Structure 1
Amino acid sequence: MANSNTDITKESFAKVNLADTESEKITGESVSAWKDALRRFVTNKGAMASMIIIAAIVLFAIIGPHFFGYDIDDQDVSRANLPPKIGALTWIPAFNGYENGVDIYKEKNVTKNYWFGTDQFGRDLWTRTWKGTQISLIIALIATLADVFIGVVYGGVSGYFGGMIDTVLQRILEIIAGIPNLVWIILLMLIMRPGLITITIAILATSWLSMARIVRGEMLKLKNQEFVLASRTLGAGDGRIIFKHLIPNSIGMIIINTMFSVPNAIFFEAFLSFIGLGIRQPQASLGSLINDGYQMLQIHPYQTLYPGIIISLLLICFNIMGDGLRDAFDPKLRR
């Protein structure tokens, strides 16, 4: 039996003098979908660290080639195959200018330090590495623009209108996707020289296909929603509905897929340059630098090391940041 001292009576409660409208007010802060996604992205330590690393690489790609005043093709065989040397870090074996216990700089009477060393033609690898990073980032930018301006529009029109238009556009897409990227490059090389323009055309021809499929699926899912019917009832045209309502509602998927297409484009360019179908001398990309260094790998491994580290960081960081954006924009994946 309950103790009489703890019995609940009418006098135990006091009425709060609160207006009826007060109970209907939202006590919590109103947070938009974009602000909520940003907040969750910022709390993702891996994604934030990846974004900082990517920003640092982009910054060095812009200012790095101007550090020492060398051009990308400044050759001097008297300084060929110099190991990396940084004056303030000579206590670290990797940056003391020694190779097999011999001070190569003293042996060749070289007074300047080369932070990433030099290649077999005496060209500064610091300058060439960051110039090559520029090329790889330009390729990534081209892939991003192709995704946004070709893939989004193509997929949006195909999914929204449906019917015969969708059938024709999808058959065209399947024909393009049925031709491997390497075949595209070989066909282009029959009429063009290998280089940045050839790779750009190959990327513009094929990189947007996955984006078009994703946007088409989003259009098919959203076009019968109530807000689309309301917009059409108010007199909105097809173009306004697609670009003002449907695509903005698919922006999360678009951003996520774009972030994953960037490392694919960088790897595609590096692969082509490595097998000799991409950037040609005297220009450089990360792939061509790795190819050049691969020929000297057993004798001078540093010539492959630094381009390899940068391209690995780019691929890993873009993928981690893409995962972070996916977690941020998809509430179902919220941790």
Structure 2
Amino acid sequence: MRDPINHVTSVNQGTAIDPSLWNKLRDEDKDEASVASVSLTYWQDVSRRFRKNKAAMLGAIIIVLLILFALIGPLLSKHSYEEQNLSFANMPPRFDLYQVGDQYLYLHKNIKLYETTADGTLLELMSKNKEDMVKKQLVYTTISGDVIVDYSKKNTLILKDAKGNTLETVKNVSNQTYLLGTDHLGRDLLTRIMYGARISLLVAVIAALVNLVIGMMYGGIAGYFGGKVDNIMMRIVDVVSIIPLTLYVILIMVVLNSGLLSIIIALGSVYWVDMARIVRGQMLSLKEEEFVYAAKTIGTKPLQIITRHLLPNAMGSIIVTMTMLIPSAIFIEAFMSFIGLGVTAPMASWGTLCNEALESIRSFSYQLFFPAIAICITMIAFNFIGDGLRDALDPRLRK
């Protein structure tokens, strides 16, 4: 609409208002006038700010991929986590190939010769024809003639043809049969890492449920009632928290034996104490708000006040705390399995995979690298999500 000030003469002087000032706005003027900031609710604003956090979104994508990796991956794998093939033990994810005639051969560190395809698919472990202990040589028979493995030099393997000429590697290929290699028993490392991801996700879900159910209610009741109730309940929390988690697991193992169930019960017994402390602090500050007094005035029961009014208002801190505690729970499970207090063989866990890889870390370091990097990536992803939620849920950052 045009500015009426430039077209209107003072009404006191008896001049009429220009009728053209009351014409309808043009469409282009309407579009310009309609530009305004959209009003968002608190949770819509939280979602918007979380999506703008690149690190948090990266962490969320990694966790989604990890879930798909753990749930769908084993269904697509040609190997099971307990399947053993000692002929293909300690096979690396990449190796060098020799070509003898039309055959491709791989010489293993353990002085074993394998027949493969040109792309790196393992075919079979070749049987040695004879062994010369004096010259320290092994003789293998191939389609194109005999080949000799010379191991006379320390830490060096040389492949020769029947005339004694040294053969050179023709190319370096990926292991197409076992993409991440195998362990000391010939089990597929990729499949075992997939099953280890299932255990880590299970521990993450249990930690989240324990924090939400036990930690929230325990801390909410202690903070709301205060006084003697608060003192007694928090002293129980102090007693529970000072006893090491390892001792809980050992005591539970005496009754239930070693395994994932022992770790789950141990986490369920003690992992809620940090959440309880956080929720208690939130309750102590929120219970003095006016909406709580209004709820009391109309006769709302204490449990309803805690669940319907106080906990929803503290949900921001609860979600952030829960997200930060999940990677800690995953690390605890991996550590317990690493020291032998977790899942038992042949079940695969990232901690047990790291433990099994220690014996051959110098020769086959990839067996430790892959499960260790899986633990690191998972913990970093959850920490990214926790940091993103902490920033998104902070009302002081709302714009």
**CA shift for structure 1 position 28:** 3.9
C-alpha contact (below 8 Å) 1:66/1:127 kept by paired residues: no
In structure 2, relative to structure 1, the CA distance for the partners of 1:104 and 1:175 (3 Å cut) is farther
Correspondence for 2:135 = none
Residue 317 (structure 1) aligned with residue 381 (structure 2) = yes
| Structure-2 residue corresponding to 1:89 | none
Q: Report the 3-state secondary structure (helix = DSSP H, G, I; strand = E; otherwise coil) of the residue aligned with 1:190.
A: helix
Q: Which residue of 2 aligns with 1:199?
A: 263
1:75 is the counterpart of 2:84: yes
Please give the per-residue CA displacement for 1:59-111, whole angstroms capped at 9, x wherever unaligned.
1011111223322111111111111259xxxxxxxxxx8867x9965277349
Report the counterpart of residue 163 of structure 1 in structure 2: 227
Gaps of 5+ in 1: 1-10, 18-26, 87-96
Residue pair 1:85, 1:114 contacting (<8 A) in 2 also: no
Task: Report matched runs for 1:1-335 at 5 Å.
Answer: 28-84=37-93, 105-106=114-115, 109-110=123-124, 113-332=177-396
Structure possessing the higher relative contact order (Cα contacts under 8 Å, 6 or more residues apart): 1
For the Cα contact (< 8 Å) 2:45–2:398, is it kept in 1? Answer: no
More helix by share: 1
Q: Secondary structure at the match of 2:326?
A: helix
Check conservation: 1:82, 1:104, Cα contact below 8 A: no
Q: Does the 8 Å contact 1:83/1:98 carry over to 2? A: no
Partner of 2:166: none
TM-score by length of 2: 0.72
Contact 1:65 1:131 in 2 (8 A): yes
Judged with a 3 Å threshold, the aligned counterparts in structure 2 of structure 1 residues 134 and 98 are, in CA distance, closer, same or farther, namely farther
Name the aligned partner's letter for residue 237 of structure 2: L
Which is worse superposed, 36-45 or 70-79? 70-79
Measure, in 2, the Cα distance between the counterparts of 1:182 and 1:14.
Answer: 85
Give, in whole Å, the separation in 1 of the partners of 2:336 and 2:43: 38
Structure 1 or 2: more strand by fraction: 2
Contact 1:64–1:126 (CA under 8 A) maintained in structure 2: no
Q: Structure 1 pair 78/333, CA: closer, same or farther in 2 (3 Å)?
A: same
The 1:78–1:250 alpha-carbon spacing in structure 2 relative to 1, beyond 3 Å, is same
Matched residue, 1:24? none
Give a deviation string over 1:240-259, Cα, whole Å, max 9, x none: 11101100001111110010
Q: CA deviation at 1:200?
A: 0.5
Tell me how far 1:334 sits from its aligned partner: 6.3
Q: Distance in 2 between matches of 1:14 and 1:62?
A: 74
Q: What is residue 156 of structure 2 aligned with on the other side? A: none
Retained in 1: the 8 A contact 2:63–2:381?
yes
Q: Which residue of 2 aligns with 1:21?
A: none
What is the root-mean-square deviation of aligned Cα atoms in Å? Answer: 2.7
Deviation of the 1:188 alpha carbon: 1.8
Distance 1:98 1:118 in 2: 16
What letter is aligned with 2:300? Answer: A
